[in-house]
Amino acid sequence: MFRRTLIAIYYCRPQRSYAVFRFLVTVFILFRRRSRWLLWKPLGPEELVANIRALGASFLKLAQVLATRADFFDQNYLQALRQLHDKMPAMSDRHRQRAFKRAFPEPAVFAEFTEEPLASASIGQVHKARLRDSGEIVAVKLLRENIQFKVQVDIFLLNLFLQLFRPLFTDQTRHSIESVLRAFTEVILQEVSMLQELANLEHFSHVYADSGIRFPIPYQEYSSDTALVMSFEEGVRFDDVEAVSKLDVPFRELMQRLVLFYTEQMLVNGYFHADPHPGNLLVSSTGELILLDFGMVSRIPQQMRQAMIYAVKSAYERDFEMLLSATRRMGILTEESDSNDLSSVAERLFEIFDSDHLDASSMQELAFGILEALKDQPFKLPQDVIYVMRVSSLIEGLGTQYIENFNGIKDILPILKENLPRALGEDRLPLEKIKHELLQLPMTAIKARRVVELAEQGDLVVRMASADRTFLLAQLAKQLRRVGWLIFFLALAFYLQRLQLQWALHLSVVSLLLAALTLMRRKG
């Protein structure tokens, strides 16, 4: 407890708290596209990166999320944020030994333990070891000392300052920033829990057992919340062109396998590995793809997943109405949005999907270009969509390592197109479809009768899209706040007038003026 108190004091010290404040002020100013706020100007791109590095692990992870938000930052800031790598010096011997003893109270677990880590990041580091009982070579992911508590303190600081900024945000701004913070919180809390990563790895191994992708085998009996023990997987990094070329494995075959795997994850199952960077993808000597590091795993709700599928389907079929419906279901467009503003973006998207002669612009550049076109429109980008865009751009980036003008749109999305029917459940034979619909008829009839009964009783409830419901509730809340302020100013004015004091009479006039301004704003 004493140690944690000291950590909390250290992490909440004035100098560091001010650095957190400057970070959030910068995000706020850039998001609102202002030049300054009160006395503060935004940190420059390099200053922002230096600020994040100084703040440590939590903010490095937050920067990874922010680096995908072209609706927040311009290209200068995005390029600077993408330069941040989650690589840290190895723990000192003293800190490593303390972390090891906490994770393994019985040191007899390992016959050998390599002190020099294979990799070291802000959250923890990976060591090679050999089990005493079986003699198997394993990889041990060891969390840094007290990292879980440090992350909790950082989340507390972020939420504290976010509450201070809350009155300055519009509903749209607040929703976007809070969604980012929620996504970051979920990701960082997953990554500092080795038991959560163990559960992710076991679930992945079960769900994707027939995917043709190999996963490490976890050793549950040796793992804990501060350490994960798993089989040691050997292979070369996917981005090591020279090493992969020696394996005599066709690149396009590897790429097709990877794209099919991620199509299955994102569109069919909705449970996917959200961090496929080159260090997490290995190619074995036999040409097998090996996926590592399951700290960052995300789920896409079925409704969101179906909307994404129809968005892609609409692009291939050049169906603007389907695209409009899909973007609303995803929550990108709200009732405030003008559908006409989407037409130019839609045409650009349709041309890209329809063209056989594309240039070498990347998936990421395309995505950011679309976001740039929409930046002045009342839209919001759900974090689920951001994750999919990030994964797509990372996969496309891997392709460019092997083919100079590799085009993610041209080479990856046709594979996706082929798998859309399966993702939508449209790959059944006609006889199977008829059988399926016939089996559903009794239930459909029951549902129809229930709708009629509810309508007759006046109890029919119409469900709205999440985005539309949020918009209407926000508008209602806004009106209620204005009425509340109007009542407050009027009550204050009447109270001050009863005091019969000169200063009170002056303040009462001011309060009446404020009430009048509030009323005029409401009418406007």
Please give the chain's pLDDT, 524 residues, in tens: 555 666 566 666 777 888 888 888 888 788 777 788 777 888 888 999 888 888 888 888 788 777 766 666 777 887 888 777 767 788 999 999 999 999 998 878 999 999 999 988 888 999 999 999 999 999 999 999 888 888 888 888 888 777 776 666 655 555 566 667 777 787 788 888 999 999 999 988 988 888 888 999 999 999 999 999 999 999 988 878 888 888 878 777 787 788 778 877 877 777 888 776 777 889 998 888 999 988 878 888 777 877 887 877 777 777 888 887 887 777 776 555 566 666 766 776 666 666 555 444 445 555 555 555 555 555 566 667 767 776 776 676 677 666 665 555 555 566 666 666 666 655 554 555 455 455 555 555 555 555 555 555 555 555 444 545 555 566 666 767 777 777 777 777 767 766 767 777 778 777 777 777 776 664 44
- What span, in angstroms and rounded, lies between the C-alpha atoms of 276 and 296? 9
- What span, in angstroms and rounded, lies between the C-alpha atoms of 277 and 8? 33
The CATH fold assigned to 92-144+193-233 is Phosphorylase Kinase; domain 1 (3.30.200)
- Per domain, the residue ranges of the chain are 2-86+150-188, 92-144+193-233, 237-427, 466-523
Cα-to-chain-centroid distance, residue 74: 19
375 — phi, psi (to 5°)? -60, -30
- For the chain, counts of helices (H) and of strands (E): 20, 11
Q: How is residue 229 annotated by DSSP?
A: E
* % helix, strand, coil for the chain, step of 5: 65, 10, 30
Dihedral in degrees, nearest 10, Cα atoms 188, 195, 296, 418: -150
Strand partners, 110: 131
- pLDDT value at residue 182: 73
- What span, in angstroms and rounded, lies between the C-alpha atoms of 247 and 285? 6
Indicate the angle between helix axes 171-191 and 466-498, nearest 10 degrees.
Answer: 120
- Residue pair 356/493 in contact by the 8 Å Cβ criterion: no
Q: Helix, strand, or coil here: 257?
A: helix
Q: Helix, strand, or coil here: 142?
A: strand
